[in-house]
Chains A and B, each alone.
Chain A
Amino acid sequence: AAGVIQSPRHLIKEKRETATLKCYPIPRHDTVYWYQQGPGQDPQFLISFYEKMQSDKGSIPDRFSAQQFSDYHSELNMSSLELGDSALYFCASSLYGYTGELFFGEGSRLTVL
């Protein structure tokens, strides 16, 4: 069965650079979520989208922005990168609604030097 696809899997950037992560949800899933997991930490919710509209917002820095496109894929844009942004970034998808199961991708590991 198709899963959530994230790219790139690994990314190395310098401080103050910009990075873009992509997420392709499971076919027919219309809701996408982004999470950040720092070393030894639990995943923290950043932002979610339903039908290209932001549906919920968590602890996402102002330097970060995200959007969902008409084919339901989503991109997370991170600017003015800081050392503390080094983390594993997960995308998850589900069908719309609060009772659906979330399925996570393998994550994109961002290292900021």
Chain B
Amino acid sequence: KQEVTQIPAALSVPEGENLVLNCSFTDSAIYNLQWFRQDPGKGLTSLLLIQSSQREQTSGRLNASLDKSSGRSTLYIAASQPGDSATYLCAVRDTGKLTFGQGTILTVHP
């Protein structure tokens, strides 16, 4: 059974810092990996999708990498802003569904 772990569980940083969120998964036989953002009580916004054949994807200040063989992905956020404060969820797809990690709660303070 696929298990997804995210570290750290919570992170608080001052505005402007570059930061890294980590995601690991137990079964490397995945099709793809998605990073999501969730604001409190809100829906899941897809940030980046990395196919199993890819090593990284970039969107604006976000960069996600994937090392499938070691079962790891990182989400890099450059020049963090208070508006980046949210829960960030990593999810892997090894069958028809996504399996989610518990998320990292990010707080960026001015």
B97 contact set on A, CB distance < 8 A: 33, 45, 48, 56, 58
The minimal Cβ–Cβ distance linking B57 to chain A, given in whole angstroms, is 11
Stretch at the interface among A11-19, A62-70, A76-84, A97-105: A97-105
B46 contact set on A, CB distance < 8 A: 101-104
What is the size, in residues, of chain B's interface with A at 8 Å between Cβ atoms?
23
A98 to B93, CA, bound (A): 7
A88 to B36, CA, bound (A): 16
A97 to B34, CA, bound (A): 15
The minimal Cβ–Cβ distance linking B8 to chain A, given in whole angstroms, is 15
A107 to B39, CA, bound (A): 12
A48 touches B96 (CB 8 A): yes
Most chain B CB atoms below 10 A, which of A88, A98, A105, A107: A98
| Interface residue A29 (Cβ < 8 Å from any Cβ of B) | no
A104 contact set on B, CB distance < 8 A: 36, 43-46
| Interface residue A90 (Cβ < 8 Å from any Cβ of B) | yes
The minimal Cβ–Cβ distance linking B4 to chain A, given in whole angstroms, is 8
Q: Known interface pairs A42-B103, A104-B46. Does A99 touch B41 (Cβ–Cβ under 8 Å)?
A: no
**What sequence of 0s and 1s flags, for each residue 41-76 of chain A, a beta carbon within 8 Å of any chain B beta carbon?**
111110010000001101000000000000000000
The minimal Cβ–Cβ distance linking B36 to chain A, given in whole angstroms, is 8
B42 touches A102 (CB 8 A): no
A106 contact set on B, CB distance < 8 A: 42-43
Q: Known interface pairs A104-B43, A104-B44. Does A99 touch B31 (Cβ–Cβ under 8 Å)?
A: yes
Q: Sorted from nearest, which 3 A-B pairs have the closest CB atoms?
A: A106-B43, A104-B44, A42-B100
Q: Which residues of A contact B (CB under 8 A)?
A: 31, 33, 41-45, 48, 55-56, 58, 88, 90, 92, 98-99, 101-107, 109
Q: Which residues of B contact A (CB under 8 A)?
A: 31-32, 34, 36, 41-46, 49, 51, 89, 93, 95-103
5 A-B pairs, CB-CB below 8 angstroms? A44-B100, A45-B99, A92-B44, A104-B36, A104-B45
